[in-house]
Each structure stands twice: as C-alpha cells, then as structure tokens.
Homo-oligomer: A and B are copies of this chain.
Amino acid sequence: MTLTTAEENYLKAIYHLSNGGTKSVSTNDVAAEIKTKAASVSDMLRKLGDKEVIEYRKYYGVNITEEGKKRALQTIRKHRLWEVFLVEKLQFAWDEVHEVAEELEHIQSPLLIQRLDSYLNFPKFDPHGDPIPDEYGDVRARPRLALNEMDIDQSGQIVAVKDSSAAFLKYLDKVGAYIGARIKVLDKVEFDGSMEILVDQKKTLFMSKDVAANILAIQS
C-alpha cells in the first residue's frame, strides 16, 4: 500500500507532533503544522485511519501505529539524506536546504535512497544535527543538552538546533556558530542566564538564555 505525497506529509507531521509516537495529537495541531484547515485534516485522518497508519477515534485525536511510525521514519530518512547531499555535495547553506528536501523526500525509489546513502558514506546525522534513521527506521540518538544547561568550563560540540527556522539559522551563521562547532562555556551570568561561549577555540560569543536554550550540544 503506497501513500500519496499529501498523506506522507500528514504522517510526518503527526509523527513529529506526537513526539515520535509517544502521545496523541489533536486535529487542530495537525492543521496548524500542515498550514491547512481542521476540516481538511478530518478528511485526511479518516483516510489515514483506513490505511491503518494511524489509529483514529473521532473527536479524540490520533495515535500513530507501528506501521505509520515506520512510514514516517522512511520519509524523514529520505528528507535528511537529501539535506546532507545538498549541503555536502551541492554547497547549499544549511538554511537553504529545507524547502528543496521537502520536495525530494517524496521521490519514490528505494534503490535511489540506498545508493544515495552509500554515496554520502552512510551519514548518521543531517546538517542540522538531527539523526538519520536507518532503512529499518532505527535511530541512534545521541544524548544532547541545551547550551543553557551546560556548566562553566564544560566543553562539547553543537549538534542541533531546536528552532530550525530560517531566521534563527541565519542568525547563527552570522555570529559564527554552526552544527559541528566545538564549544566551551566560559561564563554564565546568574541573573539573566546569558552565556559566554568559546567557539572553535578562538571566537568568543555572547548569547541570551533564549538563544542558548535553542542550541543543542553533546558533551565531550
């Protein structure tokens, strides 16, 4: 049973909103995520329920099924592999890749994805630091913490951002932060939570608590 592009997009949205399938999701939430109207979502939920990728009880929101989770992860895998391709091979900036990957992820060809994966050397993370599921939908997540949770003198590496809006990504680029950057916490201001961060052992960066909370790192 195959899914249309629209169905794949709904399923992906439900997967994300449900936190990887751990909680149920309301019609309105899906509508907001997909930027469509609740009435359209109701229609689609009935269809996805029929296809058994979600469990749908009218008026009570949806839960994603195991099959649905698998499908969503396939789409996410394709999206993230294309992002790696765009950044590593075609020199896209990491704030330019999302829209194009959103189209590319719907190309139907298992062979294509297999070959792309191999061509990119089986990457485990996309340019935003998000993990790439393997072809069975397994994800090997790294423990991460937000920068504002790190203590003074701790070192690590930026691996992801929470808010990956173009605006925030642009801001990071401008101040010289990026996924993969090696960082060290030089100082934390008690009363407002703002921080002083050493980037790549040379540049010093000041950031508000809000910004720090949006940046995820692994410790080292």
Interface residues of chain A, those whose CB is within 8 Å of chain B, are 86, 89-92, 96, 99-100, 103-104, 107-109, 111-112, 115-116, 119
Q: 11 additional contacts, CB 8 Å, given A86-B112, A100-B112?
A: A89-B119, A90-B112, A90-B116, A90-B119, A91-B115, A92-B115, A100-B109, A103-B107, A103-B108, A103-B109, A104-B104
Residues of chain B lying within 8 A (CB to CB) of residue A99: 109
Residues of chain B lying within 8 A (CB to CB) of residue A107: 100, 103-104
Q: How far is the CA of A92 from the CA of B116 in the complex (A)?
A: 11
Q: How far is the CA of A99 from the CA of B110 in the complex (A)?
A: 12
The count of identical subunits is 2
Interface of A is mostly: helix
Smallest Cβ-Cβ distance to A116: which chain B residue: B90
Q: How far is the CA of A194 from the CA of B108 in the complex (A)?
A: 41
Q: How far is the CA of A107 from the CA of B75 in the complex (A)?
A: 16
What is the distance, in angstroms, from A138's C-beta to the closest C-beta of chain B?
A: 23
Q: How far is the CA of A90 from the CA of B111 in the complex (A)?
A: 10
Residues of chain B lying within 8 A (CB to CB) of residue A90: 112, 115-116, 119
Residues of chain B lying within 8 A (CB to CB) of residue A112: 86, 90, 100
What is the distance, in angstroms, from A220's C-beta to the closest C-beta of chain B?
A: 33
Q: How far is the CA of A91 from the CA of B92 in the complex (A)?
A: 23
Q: Sorted from nearest, which 3 A-B pairs have the closest CB atoms?
A: A90-B115, A100-B109, A103-B107
Q: How far is the CA of A104 from the CA of B99 in the complex (A)?
A: 15
